[in-house]
Every structure is written in C-alpha cells, then in structure tokens.
Structure 1
Amino acid sequence: MTQKERIIEQAMHMFVAQGIKSVRMDDIAQQLGVSKRTLYEQFGDKEGLLYQAMVCYFEHNRLQWATLSAGARNVLERMFMVLGNVMDHSDVTSRMMDNLKKFYPAVYDKLVREGTEKNRQEFRSMLTEGIEQGLFVDSIHIDLAITVLYYTASALVTRKDLILPEGISEREAFVQIVSNFFRGISTAKGLELIDDYLKRYEPGKERQ
C-alpha cells in the first residue's frame, strides 16, 4: 500500500468513526504521523481528501457485496443479499451523506452522480443476467425497472421517518417490499426462487 493509499484508508475510517465535519487535516496528519504539508501536496485540501476517502468507503462496500454474494445460488438471491447489506449499512451511509450534503455539497453532488451511475450499471447487469437465466420476463423495460428498484431501495435506506406496522423491523419491511418488486417482473421460475429464499430468510442472517 502506498503512502497515499494509506492516508486515504485511514482518513476514511476516521470520517466514519468521528464524523466528517469534526475530523480536521491536523487530526489526520497526527494520526498518520505525516505533515499537513504532505496532505495538502497530495490532495489539495480537505475536500480533495474527503472525496477520495468516500470513494474508498463505497468501494469497500462493493467489495463486501461481492464477497457476501459469492455463494449465492442465483442472481435473485445475490440481489437480495446485496440490497440487504445496503440496508444493514444504511445508518452510517445516510449519516455521512447527510453531512456531506450539508457541509460539502460539491463532494456530495459528485459522489451521487458517480454512485448512481455505478449502481445503475450493476442493477442492469443483474437484471440482464436474470432475464438470460429465465428468472425475469424478457418484456420488462430494463431502464424503468432499474429506476423503480434504485429509488425504492434508496428511499427505504435514507428515509428514517417511515412509520412501520408494529412488530416488523426496518430490514424485514425492506425484504418484503423488495421481494414484491421482484415478483412483479419474475417468471414462474423466478417466483419459485423468491418463495424459496423467503422461506430460508431469517432477520439478521446475512449480516453474519
């Protein structure tokens, strides 16, 4: 790992643990045992380092998705696992993105643009794979399906003021709503796999 990569990694952990606004360049330099001049030479300013650290954060999440879903039996199960993991990390991600939007809007806007495009590409890849495997109907409008899935998942992850029925957790509600979306685009084979997954599903199981 290069010095620059080590700085980005450490800054990312500090921003997550302590909050984006409270972490100063002085704090990062002291933690890493480097000079502030080194930080400014490599990143320009705090926004430059913050952007790189947030990119690192989201790349870590993507690597975790890949590891988590490596043993999935099919693309439907993989999508459930990935979306469930997104939900599990929603508190941290929402807090960080809220702070970015408030204090560093330019970094926020850039990350949202780039993240939205990456997420749409991944959803497209998985939906296309599902069609090829005969799990999703081939008559669906993929771009529309991606939009509905993306904004449904985003709303469930970021909206913390939703009033849920008594006795159901946020994650259980998330699984139910997402599974209903998949039912709407699935073939008979896909519906069987959804039912199989839900029978095996236990709250918190994928988090381990």
Structure 2
Amino acid sequence: MTQKERIVEQAMRMFATQGIKAVRMDDIARQLGVSKRTLYELFGDKEGLLYLALNCYFEHTRRRREALTEGARNVLEALFMVLTDVLDSAGEANRMLDNLRKFYPAVYDRYTKEGTAKTRSDFGKMLERGIAEGLFIDRFNMDLAITVLYYTASAIVSRKDLLLPEGMTEREAFVQIISNFFRGIATARGLELVDDYLKRYDPAHSRRK
C-alpha cells in the first residue's frame, strides 16, 4: 500500500467514525504522523481527500457485498442479500452523506452522480443475470426497472418522514416492497424463489408462524 492509499484508508475511517465536518486535515496529519503540507501536496485540499475517502468507503461496501453473496444459490437470492444489507448499513452511510450534502455540497453532487451510476450499473448486471438464469422475464424495460428498484430502495433507507402502516417496521416494508417488485418481473420459477426468500428475509413472516 502506498503512502497515498494509506492516508485515504485512515481518513476514510476517521470520517466514518468521527464525522466529516469534525475531522480536520490537522487531525489526519497527526494521526498518520505526516505533515499537513504532505496532505495538501497529495490531495490539494480536504475536498480532494474527502472525495477519495468516500470512494474508498463505498468500494469497501461493494467488496463486502460481493463476499456476502458468494454463497448465494442464484442471483435472486443475491439481490435479497444485497438489498437487506443496504438497509442494515444505511445508518452510517446516511450520516456520512447527510454531512457531505450539508458541509461539502460540491463533493456531494459529484459523488452522488457517480455513485448512482455505479449502483444502477450493478443492479442492471444482476437483473440481466436473472434473465439469463431464467428467473426474470425478458419483456420489461431494463432502465425503468433499475430506476424503480433504485429509488424504492433509496426511499426506504433514507426518508426519515416515510409513513408506514401502523405496526410495520422499515425492514418489513422494505422486504415486502422489493418482493413485489421481483414478482412483477419473475418467471414461474422466479416466483417460487421469491416466496421462498420472502419467508427467510421477512421478519413479519417469522412472527406469524
């Protein structure tokens, strides 16, 4: 690992645990035992370092999800795993993005534009794999499906004012909504698997037993 990579990794951890606004270039320099001048020579300013640290943070997230889905029996199970992990890890990620939007809007705009494109690409590849595996029909608009899936997931994990039915948790709503989405594009075999994974991932189902 190069010095620059080591600095980005450490800054990423500090931003995630201490908050983007709270961490100063002085703090990062002191933590790593380097001069502040070195930081500015390598990254230009805090925004330059912050952008790379965010890329590092979300690349770690992508790798964790890849490892999580290695044992998935098919792409539909992998999608359930990824989407439930999105919900489970939303707290820290949302805090970082909220701080970024508030204090560094230019970095936020750049990162979210690029991050959205990457996420949509990942969803698209998984949906295409589902078609190839015979779990999804091939007669739907891929771009529209990706948009619906992306913004539905985003709404559940990031909207603080989302009104849910009384007694329903965010997790229950999330699993129900994504299950209904997959049912809309599933083949007969895919529908069987959706029902199977709904039993495994929906906490409301466990309480009804």
| Contact 2:69-2:81 within 8 A present in 1 as well | yes
Post-superposition shift, 1:54?
A: 0.3
Taking structure 1 as the reference length, what is the TM-score of the superposition? 0.94
Q: Write the letter of the residue equivalent to 2:77.
A: E
Q: What do residues 108-139 of structure 1 show as CA deviations (whole Å, max 9, x unaligned)?
A: 01111111111111111111111111111110
User: What residue is the counterpart of 1:206 in the other structure?
Assistant: none
93-102 vs 46-55, which deviates more? 93-102
Q: Distance in 2 between matches of 1:164 and 1:150?
A: 19
Query: For residues 103-142 of structure 1, what are the structure 2 equivalents within 5 Å?
Result: 103-142=103-142
Deviation digits for residues 76-132 of structure 1 (CA, Å, limit 9, x no counterpart): 010111111111111111111111111111110111111111111111111111111
Please say if 1:159 is aligned against 2:159.
yes
Number of the residue aligned with 1:169: 169
Which has the higher mean CA deviation after the structures are superposed, 70-79 or 193-202?
A: 193-202
In the alignment, which residue of structure 2 is the partner of 1:47? Answer: 47
Higher relative contact order (CA 8 A, sep 6+): 1
Q: Distance in 2 between matches of 1:175 and 1:161?
A: 19
Letter in 2 for 1:154: S
- Structure 2 counterpart of 1:4, which letter? K
One-letter amino acid of the structure 1 residue matched with residue 145 of structure 2:
A
2:37 corresponds to: 37
Deviation at 1:202, TM superposition (A): 5.8
**In 1, Cα distance between equivalents of 2:167 and 2:151:** 25
Matches within 5 A, 1:3-152: 3-152=3-152
State the distance in 1 between where 2:52 and 2:200 align: 39
TM-score (ref. length: structure 2): 0.94
User: 2:194 is matched with which residue?
Assistant: 194
Q: Deviations over 1:52-75 (max 9, x none)?
A: 000001100000110001101110
Contact 2:12 2:57 in 1 (8 A): yes
Q: Distance in 1 between matches of 2:182 and 2:108?
A: 30
User: 2:207 matched to which residue of 1?
Assistant: none
Instruction: Structure 2: state its 5+ residue gaps.
Output: 204-209
- Does structure 1 conserve the Cα–Cα contact (< 8 Å) formed by 2:171 and 2:202? no
Q: How many Å separate the matches in 2 of 1:83 and 1:95?
A: 19
Structure 1 stretches lacking a partner, 5+ long: 204-208
1:47 deviates by 0.3
Q: What percentage of residue pairs aligned between the two structures are identical?
A: 70
Equivalent pairs counted in the alignment come to 203
Superposed CA RMSD: 1.1
Partner of 1:2: 2
